Amino acid sequence: MIETIPITTSFHSEMVDITSQVTDCIDKRQLKEGIVIVQSMHTTAGITVNENADPDVKTDMLRRFSEVYPWEHRKDLHAEGNTASHMKTSTVGHSQTLIVEDGRLVLGTWQGVYFCEFDGPRTRKVVVKIIEG
Amino acid sequence: MIETIPITTSFHSEMVDITSQVTDCIDKRQLKEGIVIVQSMHTTAGITVNENADPDVKTDMLRRFSEVYPWEHRKDLHAEGNTASHMKTSTVGHSQTLIVEDGRLVLGTWQGVYFCEFDGPRTRKVVVKIIEG
Amino acid sequence: MIETIPITTSFHSEMVDITSQVTDCIDKRQLKEGIVIVQSMHTTAGITVNENADPDVKTDMLRRFSEVYPWEHRKDLHAEGNTASHMKTSTVGHSQTLIVEDGRLVLGTWQGVYFCEFDGPRTRKVVVKIIEG
């Protein structure tokens, strides 16, 4: 069972909360117990689970990732010039696995699921795979 | 099937070996073949699999993560002041998926499962989801 | 169901495309729908999903990881001297979970599965766990 979540990002770097879209997939499939794998289909955008309360966390995180992996780098060979986006994607991960119990995502109070755009704005695709059990 | 592992950390940053607690969950549920998802329920603490032999590796890793993501940063907006903890959590990941074969965790000789406290000391919670198959 | 992929690396740092070996495991087990967990059995080598087209991306990524986590570090305690390899492994992750649909890996156009050698050259082992569903 695979569901697709289409995403259109608005900025070059952006953390988009997709928790409700993932929840919709679970509801649609009436999954009670199991896991869901949430995967970005791209190499310059990833998935992470992080703070869903203060939006400043997202701002800080995107800026700090860009400090560790600066866009401009005189040694980069990749002609597209977006090596930094690839670094960030492998750092947060192209996918995350989430737990479902009693029909609900098992998340801590402050945890949300984020699509991490690192080379936008673009039209993107996330797939959600459901495993019952 | 979900199990909970309560954790009380003692330091601000700390890698706590939880391999035996995860093994206990597998034994309790008598899982022979499958996978387990080990998830931190927090946004300032993650899970990783790394060296279980020389404790200096943990010391080095925590120090190096703090060099890459320093605690103090004049540009951080997040009022709690723990943006670095959020960075580290997304870097190692909020969860890891482990394999079980013949009733045992499939780990390399030097691999252990670690709860990574990045903003302690605190009382924390890890959940373990078991999928047979 | 576990399969093993033996890997012999040729360089100190290297991203080895193992997508076809993972596909072989799926074909051999005739998996139609499910997930596969691809795990490095080591603490100085990980797994990531990233760009499979321009090989310059791999060169850039390995160099940038070494800039963020330099090999030499006067504060490192670990006597083996490979703390940087442990950092990189926890950053990309010791394993990745992949989706299978209609007997094929669900990957984006540019996504490939990579074994990331961070302390080679060595003889290494990757295990692939298959979960149907």
Confidence grade of residue B25 (pLDDT, cut at 50, 70, 90): very high
Q: Do B68 and C73 touch (CB under 8 A)?
A: no
Percent of chain B past pLDDT 90, that is, above it, reads 99
Nearest-by-CA chain A residue for B71: A64
Q: What are phi and psi of B54, to 5 degrees?
A: -75, 115
Q: What are phi and psi of C109, to 5 degrees?
A: -50, -40
User: Is residue C1 predicted with pLDDT exceeding 90?
Assistant: no
**Partners of B95 in the β-ladder:** B39
Contacts of C95 in chain A (CB under 8 A): none
In one-letter notation, the amino acid at residue B33 is E
Contacts of C60 (CB under 8 A, 6+ apart): A73, A75, A76, A77, A78, A83, A86
Tokens 């090596």 label which residue? A83
Helix, strand, coil abundance in chain B, percent, nearest 5: 25, 40, 35
Q: Point out which residues pair with C3 in neighbouring strands.
A: C128
Question: Please, which residues 69-128 of chain C have a Cβ atom closer than 8 Å to chain B?
Answer: 69, 73, 75-80, 83, 86-87, 89-91, 93-95, 97, 125, 127
Which residue's entry shows tokens 């074909």? Answer: C27
Q: What contacts C122, CB < 8 A, 6 or more positions away?
A: C8, C9, C45
Q: Which residue of A has its CA nearest to B34?
A: A133
What does DSSP assign to residue B44? S
Three-class secondary structure of residue B62 per DSSP: helix
pLDDT in tens, B44-72: 999 999 999 999 999 999 999 999 999 99
CB contact under 8 A, C54 and A80: yes
**Chain A touched by B51 (CB under 8 Å):** no
Closest CA to B51 of A91, C119, C128, C114: C119
CA C115 to chain centre: 3
Interface contact flag, C99 A129, Cβ < 8 Å: yes
Which among A60, A63, A131 has CB closest to B131? Answer: A131
% residues pLDDT > 90 (chain C): 99
State the smallest CA–CA distance between residue B54 and chain C in angstroms. 7
Specify the residue for token string 């007997």.
C103
Chains that touch C (3 or more CB pairs under 8 A): A, B
Identify whether the C-beta of residue B25 lies closer than 8 Å to the C-beta of residue B41: no
Cα–Cα distances (Å) from C117 to A26, C16, C24, C43, C93, in that order, read 37, 8, 21, 10, 12
If you average pLDDT over residues C116-131, what whole number do you get?
98
The answer on pLDDT for B31 being more than 90 is: yes
Q: A105 and A27 in contact (C-beta within 8 Å)?
A: no
Contact flag A99-B125 (C-beta cutoff 8 Å): no
How long, in residues, is chain A? Answer: 133
Residue B25 corresponds to which tokens in the numbers above? Answer: 């969950």
Residue B21 phi/psi, 5° resolution? -65, -40
Cβ distance A40 to C101 less than 8 Å, yes or no, reads no
Contact B73, B83 (CB under 8 A): yes
Give the nearest partner residue to B43 out of A91, A111, A133, using CB atoms: A111
A78 close to C57: Cβ distance less than 8 angstroms? yes
Split at pLDDT 50, 70, 90, the class of B1 is confident
pLDDT at A1: 82
Q: How far is B96 from chain C (nearest CA, A)?
A: 8
Do residue C60 and residue A76 have CB atoms under 8 angstroms apart? yes
Q: Where are the alpha helices (DSSP H) in A18-122?
A: 19-28, 56-68, 83-92
State the pLDDT at residue B113. 98
Task: Give the confidence band of B19 by pLDDT, cuts at 50, 70, 90.
Answer: very high
Question: Looking at the partner chain, which of A37, A43, A95 has a beta carbon nearest the beta carbon of C50?
Answer: A43
> What amino acid is encoded at C115 in this protein?
F
The parts of chain A modelled with pLDDT lower than 50 are none
Cα angle for residues C18, C24, C27 (degrees, 5° grid): 145
C-alpha neighbours within 13 Å on the C-beta side of residue C76: 21
pTM: 0.98
- Indicate the residue type of B61: M
Note the pLDDT of residue B122.
Answer: 98
